[in-house]
Amino acid sequence: MKKQFSPDYKAKVALEALKGMKSPTEIAGTYGVHTTQIGFWKRRLLEGASSLFSGKMKKEFEDRDKLIEELYKVIGQRDTELEWMKKNMQRLGT
């Protein structure tokens, strides 16, 4: 079965490799990840680091925040509708 690692865990391991204080073999032993995987995560970190400072990330966060706000509105509306239905069901004796 394939191991699943969280993005936070991958970032932690990649940063450790980027520091260069330990060899990939030492990092692999510490974190239980194959050395090839560590190199891949390190490469992805280096390639994606510039996007952290671009305006694209800001736009993605704004879009995500709008979506979350919209979903909270829908959830609130559904909660209100559910409470209304419960009250009316009690009046009908069901």
Q: pLDDT per residue over 17-27, tens digit each? A: 999 999 999 99
**How many other C-beta atoms are found inside a 10 Å radius of the C-beta of residue 45?**
16
CB-based contact 38:25 (threshold 8 Å): no
Cβ-based neighbours of 16, under 8 Å, separated by 6 or more: 22, 27, 30, 31
User: In whole angstroms, what is the distance from residue 18 CA to residue 63 CA?
Assistant: 31
Arithmetic mean of pLDDT over the chain: 89
Structure tokens of 42? 């390190």
Rounded to two decimals, what is the model's pTM? 0.55
Domain ranges of the chain: 1-51, 54-94
DSSP 23: -
